[in-house]
Copies of this chain bind each other. A is one copy, B any other.
């Protein structure tokens, strides 16, 4: 693996998931792989799970980890080519990415969507600039339009918990008071298309995701109908894509309730967290034995660890050193 900024960087999801599950049983098996290797994590946005699980994953592999909240602790970065930097930004990403690359072996970055400029977000201005200028492999800790480590953790959790060959998986929108990015939903849609599942998306009309991502996926506007026979309910709020970054609906009828879960095939409940209880999902659902949210968060460590392991193996390979 040369980088991991998108689910499309995965060649064989099944292999990746299998190896991650093996790491989970024996997290320190490859602790010499990361010796003398350093992971730098740059955060433009808050993080709890991603930060701690990725740091843990790197340490399990014997890596050193250096973390910066770059918005608070560093300099304001410029991303435009040719700009006259006479205003707020003190440093161009060209320098920042090249410089930081010299202090580490893998560079991980979190940079959320701004949700004001669709083109800028969907062009992945920030993470793509780091990919362009960095001289070491880049890992996304959630970018404007994708959260591939979350999606991989979700795939691991699904593999561990499915009881039939081809389960029915439903991605359901749920209400939320704030405008949220599409990153988690996008990457989940993508990774579901890499495996053998009966996949359905349900959301209110107007909440269609980017059709380039959902092409070929069944969309069912009737949440109740979508839930029928479902084995997994994956819930997530997102803001509108077409009328970009808006909260068009806070319709409480879309909240995931115990009653709705009873209309499924005893489905497992999934959410990436953080989750607003009794807005996105009822207490009764998230506290139920069928809730996988804590296990999903646990699997963040092993998703990150398998990605870091693959990148280290690739950069350690004799061919690359030659």
In the complex, chain B residues whose CB is within 8 Å of the CB of A51: 68, 73
- Known contacts A48-B68, A64-B59: does B293 contact A84 (CB below 8 Å)? no
Q: What is the bound-complex CA distance between A286 and B43, given in angstroms?
A: 27
**Cβ–Cβ contact B46 & A84, under 8 A:** no
- Known contacts A64-B59, A74-B47, A278-B82: does B298 contact A102 (CB below 8 Å)? yes
User: Which of A48, A74, A87 counts the most chain B CB atoms within 10 A?
Assistant: A48
Interface residue from B47, B49, B59, B274 paired with A38 (Cβ < 8 Å): B59
Q: What is the bound-complex CA distance between A177 and B89, given in angstroms?
A: 11
**Cβ–Cβ contact A73 & B68, under 8 A:** no
**Cβ–Cβ contact A103 & B73, under 8 A:** no
**Cβ–Cβ contact A48 & B91, under 8 A:** yes
**Cβ–Cβ contact B53 & A278, under 8 A:** no
A301 at the interface (CB under 8 A from B): yes
- Known contacts A46-B75, A52-B40, A102-B294: does B69 contact A278 (CB below 8 Å)? no
Q: Mark A254-283, 1 if CB is under 8 A from B, else 0.
A: 000000000000000000011111110001
Q: A87 — nearest CB in chain B belongs to which residue? A: B177
A interface residue count range (under 10 / 10 to 19 / 20 to 34 / 35 or more): 35 or more
**Cβ–Cβ contact B70 & A48, under 8 A:** yes
A85 at the interface (CB under 8 A from B): yes
Interface residue from B48, B73, B277 paired with A83 (Cβ < 8 Å): B277
A72 at the interface (CB under 8 A from B): yes
Q: What is the bound-complex CA distance between A117 and B270, given in angstroms?
A: 36
Q: What is the bound-complex CA distance between A66 and B66, given in angstroms?
A: 11
Q: What is the bound-complex CA distance between A41 and B68, given in angstroms?
A: 14
Interface residue from B48, B59, B74 paired with A99 (Cβ < 8 Å): B48
Q: What is the bound-complex CA distance between A87 and B301, given in angstroms?
A: 30
**Cβ–Cβ contact B85 & A278, under 8 A:** yes
Q: A95 — nearest CB in chain B belongs to which residue? A: B273
**Cβ–Cβ contact A297 & B99, under 8 A:** yes
Chain A residues at the B interface, C-beta cutoff of 8 Å: 28, 36, 38, 40, 43, 46-49, 51-53, 55-56, 59, 64, 66, 68-70, 72-75, 78, 82-87, 89-92, 94-96, 98-100, 102-104, 177, 273-279, 283, 286-287, 293-294, 297-298, 301
Closest 4 pairs between A and B when the two form their complex, measured CB to CB: A91-B274, A85-B276, A99-B297, A84-B278
